[in-house]
Structure 1
Amino acid sequence: MPTTTTESRVRTGVLAAVSYVAFFLASLVLPGLLGHNRGASIVTPYSTNSEVAAYLAATSHGGLPIAAFCQAVSGLALLVFAGWSAAYLHRLGREAHAALARSAGTAAAVFLLLSASIQWILSLPGITDNLAVYRAVTDLSFSTGAAVQIATTGLLTAAVSTGARGLPKWLAWFGLGVAALSVLSMLSLLAKGFSPFLPIGRYLGMAWFLGLAVFLPRRAGRYPANR
């Protein structure tokens, strides 16, 4: 029974980690595959009004509900992972790590869900008629789903990397590096020059999630079934 319980817990963590990555990537890829983006580059708070207007003229907003839905599911998966990782770290007696994983992971998931909800608003009729309104909503969606979301996800990564047992040392150190780069993405709120930290922190973080999903089942026997 303990082994079965442990394996079930590990499967939950693996599924949550993989779903978080898969659905977020789907939110980026599917609109392009369906022809809604038409190859246009995304706009950011640092884009000029003319760049935003050109983006609106070149794209169709039919894919936004799909992107928002996939991103919302990704946020829910991250929320599940946050709860799972906090419970796991608690069973190991890593109370401080568990608290950080729960708080940072929950915050990251909420920011992602909020960004998805705001992104859905962009698909409503008439929202593109007023450039100023469209910019405000777009910037809000970007800001909630970018720097603060990436930084809080990085803190979740740090909590698991430093508190977990049985993980390969390279994966733990990789997680700490990802956490540092993710926190540095907050600098993008100060200047455009720090924007490269956003994709670096996000996608390296996703690589860490997938690495964790691979090694969790291999270390299942080392996890305590109950505490």
Structure 2
Amino acid sequence: MSLRSHFLPTTGPGLGAGVLAPLGFLLAYLAVSPLADALADRPLPLPGGPAAEVAAYYAANPAAITTTAVLQVVSVACFAVFVGGLAPALRAAGAGWLPRVGYLSAAAMVVSSALSMTLLALSLSAGDSTVAALRQANFLAGGLVNVVLLGVFVFGAALVLGRDLLFGKPTRWFGFVAGTLAMLSVLSLAFYYANAFLPIGRVLSMVWTVVAGIVIYRRVRAELAGR
């Protein structure tokens, strides 16, 4: 199947969607921890920690919370651009549902950021039960839901686009590994130690979008140049 049948100059991922967007997806996320840590006066309490400690952290660190929320939204906005760049190829290959999965993953992080900002606004007035519920929902949306859906998208895109030879076996298998580890984070609902799949699966899946985006962009542009 010709690369041109999937990626036309007017619809395929150009430099922005194919290269810059996945780089932004990864780099904006990686910037969260160092910037938030530099702005915060203490570590963020873990989900399930005492509600009073969570409320105190949010009340004392508005700059860290706001910076985190903004960077997370920027990160997934870049991911949404990348998903949009791949959408024509995925639809042409019969996987039109995969872009929706990618957009839902991005939306989950936006919801998480919105919940974080809500908790910031209510930290001084909300009761313990409200604080605990908002913190848990914030973690689940930005952690479990976001990562599992990201894993589904990466695994599915690796399967479909690799099958259509838009990239070679190394990139395809990298997608299988990254996507599987991200999806395995669902086990954290039952096993505490499965929480390790959340950061590992997330970052590997992010790196895969960078690798896949560069490979596809270069191959598509090479074919278009040879027409």
Q: TM-score range by the shorter chain?
A: 0.7 to 0.9
Change (3 A) 1:71 1:168: same
- The reply to whether residue 95 of structure 1 matches residue 100 of structure 2 is no
* CA deviation after TM superposition for structure 1 residue 161, in Å: 1.1
Equivalent positions of 1:25-36 (< 5 A) are 25-33=30-38, 35-36=39-40
The equivalent residue for 1:214 is 214
The equivalent residue for 1:64 is 65
Q: C-alpha distance in 1, partners of 2:223/2:131?
A: 49
DSSP-derived class of the 1:5 partner: coil
C-alpha contact (below 8 Å) 1:154/1:182 kept by paired residues: yes
* CA deviation after TM superposition for structure 1 residue 210, in Å: 2.1
DSSP-derived class of the 1:9 partner: coil
Amino acid of the structure 2 residue aligned with 1:193:
Y
Q: C-alpha distance in 2, partners of 1:167/1:196?
A: 29
Amino acid of the structure 1 residue aligned with 2:214:
V
Change (3 A) 1:139 1:86: same
* CA deviation after TM superposition for structure 1 residue 75, in Å: 2.2
Change (3 A) 1:223 1:158: farther
Taking structure 1 as the reference length, what is the TM-score of the superposition?
0.81
Q: C-alpha distance in 2, partners of 1:14/1:24?
A: 16
C-alpha contact (below 8 Å) 1:62/1:123 kept by paired residues: no
* CA deviation after TM superposition for structure 1 residue 4, in Å: 8.6
DSSP-derived class of the 1:175 partner: helix
Amino acid of the structure 1 residue aligned with 2:81:
V
C-alpha contact (below 8 Å) 2:105/2:150 kept by paired residues: yes
Task: Answer with 13-22 or 103-112: which moved more.
Answer: 13-22
* CA deviation after TM superposition for structure 1 residue 125, in Å: 5.3
Aligned-CA RMSD value: 2.9
The equivalent residue for 2:176 is 176
The equivalent residue for 1:49 is 50
Taking structure 2 as the reference length, what is the TM-score of the superposition?
0.81
Q: Deviations over 1:185-227 (max 9, x none)?
A: 11112232321111111111112122223323321236679xx
DSSP-derived class of the 2:167 partner: coil
Q: C-alpha distance in 2, partners of 1:104/1:145?
A: 15
Change (3 A) 1:4 1:201: closer
C-alpha contact (below 8 Å) 2:42/2:57 kept by paired residues: no
- The reply to whether residue 190 of structure 1 matches residue 190 of structure 2 is yes
Q: C-alpha distance in 2, partners of 1:142/1:21?
A: 19
Q: What is the count of residue pairs matched by the alignment?
A: 215
* CA deviation after TM superposition for structure 1 residue 114, in Å: 0.7
- The reply to whether residue 10 of structure 1 matches residue 11 of structure 2 is no
C-alpha contact (below 8 Å) 2:175/2:205 kept by paired residues: yes
Give the fraction of aligned pairs with identical amino acids, expressed as a percent.
23
Q: 2:43 aligns with which of 37, 40, 45?
A: 40
Q: Deviations over 1:97-128 (max 9, x none)?
A: xx232121011011111111111112215447
The equivalent residue for 1:74 is 75
5+ residue gaps, structure 1? none
